[in-house]
Amino acid sequence: MLQNSCNIYTSKLCETKRLKKQDSMISRGENCVNITFCEDDNLEKLEQDLNELTGNSFSYFLKKRFSSTLISIVSVIVLMFALISASIYEDLFKKIIFELPFDWNVSDTVSLIFVIIFFFGMVMMPSLLDGEGNEFKNILSSWFNKDIKKLKRLKLAFSLFDKKTTINLYNFDLIDAEHWIYRLLTKTIVSRFYTVNMYIRNDQIQSVKKKLESFGVANIEVIKEKKSINACDIDFLLSSREQKLYSLMQLSSSTIIPNNDKRKFVSLELFEYCGRNFFEDTKDSSNQLISGFQNFINRSFDDFRFIAQEKSMQIYFTSNVKFKNLSDEQKRLAYYLRNHIEECISYFDNPISLLILYYYVRDIVLDEKRTIAILEKFIDAVHKKQQYELIDDYWFALAGQMFDPSSLEEFEKTNNSFYRRLSINALNKLIFLFERNGHFDQALLLAKYLYEINPNKYSVSICSLYERTGQFEKAYNSLPKELNIGANAKPSDIEVRYFQRKAWIVVSQRKEDLKEEGLEALKSLKSLIFSHNDDNEPLWLWHYYNIKANYAEWTEDYDGAIQNYNKCLSIPALGAFEYGATFVNMAIAYRFMYLTSNTQNFDNIDKSIKLGKLGVFLKESVGDRDEMPVVLHNQALNVLYKMVNSTLDEAACKEIVYITDDAISVLDRTKSIKRLGMLLIENCITKSLLKQNYEDVAQRLNTHFPLLDENESQQILKLYKEFIKTDKIDRLDFLDKII
């Protein structure tokens, strides 16, 4: 065996001279030969490529074959002479034993010559069969063993190259030791050439060393190159398993984010999570996969140069990556992730992982709370990992700009805004993150949005943000003259709810005899809520301002009522249920303002109808069956009071008939009578306006009327009288008797 040397290089697969799978396996450079192996390559391709490289070498091969054949022929002739001599030797030996003495003649001399040849043939036979020139034995062996025949052809081919030629072998670590690449090709190369360079993956060093040592290579040096990004396209070198992982890595990247002109970031968390769980053929081999996935990640960094990293937890694809069309795989993965959102949220710490998860599931998740949970974890991760620039890069494309919380007109447009659904904790972190990114205007709007939760805390935040933007006068004026420092601890929920219920029951029924008691309960509620320094619960504040607005309505202070309803709408982190109720109540306040005005201001009643419609929409969006009849009754009343002094709107009348019929059916199913009387009179009046039959509804109202409380009966009579005055409807005898 030659004392040759073998250098093992890592992180240099990109230096292969083969550019695609269809190219030749072998190429010649200056004083070197390059051989690159791909998974589907076979020996026939190698021989074909080798023949194309060597060109027309027929005379050389003829010479090689002639000399080897000549040696074989001589060996065979010698053996044949020896074998033929055996019979001659037998005759001569008999003659000497049994016929001695005898006459020696020419034939005896010839026989003796053949005997001598036989003797020397027998002596030479071991050398002919086992010596270095064992061509005869090889010929016999090649008839039965194809590997020997192939090995012989490879040796003949590589004998064309000088032994000092450097041989560069790429990607030979892709297969095991029993493969023909090692069994035939590598064995041939290391036995002939002085210098062999092998370019392999980092994690395959020990495996390749063992294979080389088995061929008797004693001088092996491992050379680890420093990382450097070179443009190259070597995905064709990947094995089928690596190709599968390569596709999964692309699926686990920000390529899923639409209109994303930023770097394509990779989530290794998502990559490993999906690798262990998403592929059916990997679920039962998790221990093996942990190593396999980590190896592929390392190879993608060092060997393939697919990914690189500049900042902590921000790993991105390099220009070496050629993105595949994986739309079908994306759909399958999206549905898988949708079913495991909670598990993913608990598992992922990288904000990029959560960002990618959100875009996978956002269009196929029915429960919005689950996507909000992803966004809240994303905000928390950005805050915790200090990846502030991700807010500037991705947040506004995802959630849009923060709205003006003081603008009622913007509510309808921002009803579905994420800012209305995020928790107080998440919004607080967003203020900080907006500030870190220089979005002071957005941080300021958020601070104003959260102001009611804790005026002391957020007035200081607002002041700080004004100061950061150089608006010193606004900064100073935003601070209260003095802090309202509470001396008490934050109250319990049961304390707050007790005074809420007491104050609400009185005002909702307009109990004059209990009015003072109700106001005292409201005062106690205020004292509880504002007697501490902690953040208030949004629902506590909403109930307080809603009840306060109702008391303002009771005293006909409709401007005060609307002002308090606006405070209800400015409270963050509430749902469509609370906001919907606020719009319904605000619509009632505008209706009362219209009815009590000396001049008929249609702007107020139009606003009432518009706000009432928004309230109905929000209530329907949460499937509220409890308060829906009351909501629908108030919207019907808003429209009907406009019709008293305007022309008949047939489409609006049909809408009222529809919603009041629906509300009555809901009350019947729930066995409730809350506002049933109002719904019945509204249904009667509207059907009368449309000249429809309403006798059954009128009869039911007549039967139900004695069961009504004073407040509801007075409202029914007031509405009836308004329409009777204008002579737009038929009279109801049982109501005429009461008037």
Residue 146 pLDDT exceeds 60 = no
Report residue 178's pLDDT band, with 50, 70 and 90 as the boundaries.
confident
pLDDT score for 286: 44
Structure-derived torsion over alpha carbons of residues 593, 599, 602, 607, reported in degrees to the nearest 10: -20
Length of the chain equals: 739
> Helix (H, G, I), strand (E, B), or coil: what is residue 169?
strand
Q: How far apart are CA 475 and CA 444, in angstroms?
A: 11
pLDDT score at 395: 96
Q: Is 473 exposed, middle or buried (0-12, 13-18, 19+ CB in 10 A)?
A: exposed
Check if the beta carbon of residue 449 is closer than 8 Å to that of residue 402: yes
For residues 597 and 708, give the distance between their C-alpha atoms in angstroms, rounded to a whole number: 28
Per-residue pLDDT at 142: 45
Q: Which residues contact 236 (CB under 8 A, 6 or more apart)?
A: 20, 21, 38
Convert the pLDDT of each residue in 651-683 to its tens digit: 999 999 999 999 999 999 888 898 999 999 999
H or E segment and range at residue 224: strand 219-224
**Residues whose CB is less than 8 angstroms from the CB of residue 661 and which lie 6 or more positions away in sequence, other chains included:** 683
What are 274-317's pLDDT values in tens digits?
A: 888 776 555 554 444 445 788 899 999 988 889 998 887 889 99
DSSP code at position 537: P
pLDDT (0 to 100) of residue 427: 95
Please state, rounded to an integer, the average pLDDT across all residues of the chain: 85
> E-assigned strands of 387-488?
none
Model confidence at 70: pLDDT above 70: no
Residue whose entry in the numeric block shows the structure tokens 């599931």: 361
pLDDT tens for 536-590 read: 899 999 999 999 999 999 999 999 999 999 999 888 888 888 999 999 999 999 9
């694809």: which residue's tokens? 317
- Assess whether pLDDT exceeds 60 at residue 533: yes
pLDDT attached to residue 429: 96
Condensed to tens digits (0 to 9), the pLDDT of residues 416-463 reads 889 989 999 999 999 999 999 999 999 999 999 999 898 888 999 999
Q: Buried b / exposed e across 634-650, counting CB within 10 Å, b at 16+?
A: bbbbbbbbbbbeeeeee
Q: Where are the alpha helices (DSSP H) in 309-423?
A: 327-338, 341-347, 351-361, 368-385, 389-390, 396-399
pLDDT band at 145 (very low <50, low <70, confident <90, very high): very low
Residue 543 CA from chain centroid, whole number: 39
* Spatial separation of the C-alpha atoms in residues 147 and 281, rounded to whole Å: 35
Do residues 263 and 316 touch, judged by C-beta distance below 8 A?
Answer: yes
DSSP code of 25?
Answer: S
Q: How many angstroms separate the CA atoms of 239 and 206, rounded? A: 19
* Dist. CA 182–CA 180, nearest whole Å: 5
Query: CA-to-CA distance for 18 and 40, rounded, in angstroms?
Result: 14
Give percent above pLDDT 70 in the chain: 84
**Furthest CA-CA distance within the chain:** 172
HSE, side-chain direction, 13 A CA sphere, residue 10: 19
CB 175 within 8 A of CB 182: yes
């047939």: which residue's tokens?
A: 650
Which of the residue ranges 454-458, 486-490, 718-722 would you say has the lowest mean pLDDT?
486-490
pLDDT given for residue 601 in this prediction:
77
Q: What is the mean pLDDT of residues 485-489?
A: 71
597/75: higher pLDDT: 597
**Could you tell me which of 392, 459, 404, 374 has the C-alpha nearest to residue 430?**
392
> Which pLDDT tens digit goes with each residue over 89-106?
566 666 666 566 656 666
Report the distance separating Cα 534 and Cα 424, nearest Å: 13
- Is the pLDDT at 131 greater than 50, yes or no? no
